Amino acid sequence: MQLVLGIDTIGGGWNAVMTIARGLAVRGFDVTLAMLGPEPDPRQAAEIADTPNLRAISAHTIAARLAESFGDLQAAGQAVARLANVLAVDLVVLHHPALAAFGPFQAPVVVSPDGRDIIVASRTRQAPGHEWRARLLRSGYQIATGVVAPSHADAGDIMEAHRLRRPPRVIRRTFTPFAADRPAVDLTSFAFAAHQAADGRENLATLNEAAALCPHPVMLAGTSAGKLADAGHLWALGVLTPGQTQRWLEGAHAFVSSATGDTDGEMAWRAAEAGRPMVLADAPDYRELWGDAAAFAPAGDAVALARTLNALMADSGQRKQLADAARAIARAWTVDKAAAAWGELLTDIVATTPRSSVA
């Protein structure tokens, strides 16, 4: 089976998409990455070159996750459609549902939400002036032949908010671990947090307030870290490479997230895989995915978040218990299992979707 798989080369999400691309390629799928954004960096290029049955073609210079206008998303979506149609593939998988609103695509389209695109129900709010994005998302979700969500909580929200006739298929995300670029950071005890999304879902204001109530540093990595530096509560690390992020993770006593939902799954997974105990906001998908393997605080409650984090930092026994449980969850859901679930779904869609019914 030949398929085109959309991927952004910048702005996040690369690890999740590449992990599935490699898993499907290993299972015999002929995968073409439709790259959106700048040319891949050397690390990304090496990942592509090292994977059999996988090739990559630059579709457009605009990354879907970073598109800030209707025209940008339209250009990216039409570019992916042209590529898929020229290659006459059996199936198209899009990492950004709004891309499906353009086209036309001559093969069935499956969409899976990017962290920024879970703009649904009460879990997060769309920024004023960006209502066009919500309209495109709804159109993309409704046009798609299939929808894949990373949790049942997200599946329910997507189905309700975008008025889908059938529930999305739930396939938990999995990722490829990164090696630290140097030995773990050796500082006094600290907690680690990471900012990834641009839609406010990560609720950095609550994290900032909580950090003011913590006697230990809370180190924040990510594109918006510097914006909170003047508050003096969070230690802003700025943008880190995957290897640098892993180095800080492995040196931390805990990973903390105040997000109102699992932004794209990667940072919590990486913390769990690295054996870091986690303190998470009590959001439905966080609770579903990590259950008893994390400590939870009510979403939006800075005092409760600080109290929970402080208690964990002071209790080495609880840290070990949560770290072991989280690592077991991360390692039980393997790339092979995720690829098998994806492969089964894609095969069923191709077998049951007449080409004449595709736009």
In the predicted model, is pLDDT for residue 1 greater than 70? Answer: yes
31-40, 257-266, 350-359: least confident range: 350-359
Question: How high does pLDDT run on average in the chain?
Answer: 87
Cα–Cα distance, 136 to 100 (Å, whole number): 9
Determine the pLDDT at residue 122.
38
In the predicted model, is pLDDT for residue 191 greater than 80? Answer: yes
Determine the pLDDT at residue 307.
98
Which is more confident, 160 or 30? 30
Q: What is the layout of strands, in order, in the sheet containing 91-94?
A: 54-60, 30-36, 2-8, 91-94, 109-111, 146-149, 169-170
CA 233 vs CA 28, 112, 146, 274: distances in Å? 50, 35, 44, 25
Determine the pLDDT at residue 127.
52
158-162, 242-246, 285-289, 305-309: least confident range: 158-162
Cα–Cα distance, 349 to 100 (Å, whole number): 16
pTM tops 0.75 = yes
- b/e code 161-180 from CB counts within 10 Å (16+ = b): bbebeeebbbbbbbbbebeb
Mean pLDDT computed over 305-322: 97
Is 128 buried (19+), middle (13-18) or exposed (0-12) by CB count in 10 A? exposed
In the predicted model, is pLDDT for residue 273 greater than 70? Answer: yes
Determine the pLDDT at residue 131.
74
Q: Tell me: the pLDDT tens digits for 119-132?
A: 443 344 455 556 78
**DSSP secondary-structure letter at 150?**
S
Q: How confident is the model at residue 115 (pLDDT cuts 50, 70, 90)?
A: low
**DSSP secondary-structure letter at 214?**
-
Domain 2-174+334-357 carries which CATH code? 3.40.50.2000
Determine the pLDDT at residue 123.
44
| Fold match flag (2-174+334-357 vs 191-332) | yes
Domain ranges, ordered by start, for the chain: 2-174+334-357, 191-332
Determine the pLDDT at residue 184.
73
- Whose CA is closest to 147, among 351, 348, 345, 358? 345
CA 255 vs CA 168, 176, 190, 250, 272: distances in Å? 30, 18, 9, 10, 9
In the predicted model, is pLDDT for residue 196 greater than 60? Answer: yes
Domain 191-332 carries which CATH code? 3.40.50.2000
